[in-house]
Amino acid sequence: MMTPQVITPQQMQQILQQQVLSPQQLQVLLQQQQALMLQQ
């Protein structure tokens, strides 16, 4: 279920709107996004 994948800003917005993630999961996602942005 938790397969590593690139999350698009669109998906990010959907997830935030649904608010289905726990704060911990959100933090992990944000860290992933930051890492991706640093790589570019």
Q: Is residue 32 part of a domain?
A: yes
Residue 23: what pLDDT?
77
Please indicate, yes or no, if residue 2 is contained in any of the structural domains. Answer: no
Q: How many domains does the chain have?
A: 1
CB 29 within 8 A of CB 21: yes
pLDDT of residue 2: 59
Q: Hunting for tokens 């999961």 — which residue is that?
A: 25
Residue 8 pLDDT: 78
Examine residue 1 and state whether it is found in any structural domain, yes or no: no
Judged by DSSP in three states, 9 sits in helix
What is the Cα–Cα distance from 19 to 35, expressed in whole angstroms?
A: 22
Q: What is the domain extent for residue 21?
A: 9-38
In a domain, 13, yes or no: yes
CA nearest to 12, candidates 39, 28, 38, 40: 28
Is residue 29 a part of any domain in this protein? yes
Tens-digit pLDDT profile for residues 1-40: 556 667 778 887 777 777 666 778 778 888 888 887 777 6
**Could you tell me if residue 19 is inside a domain?**
yes
What pLDDT is attached to residue 32?
84
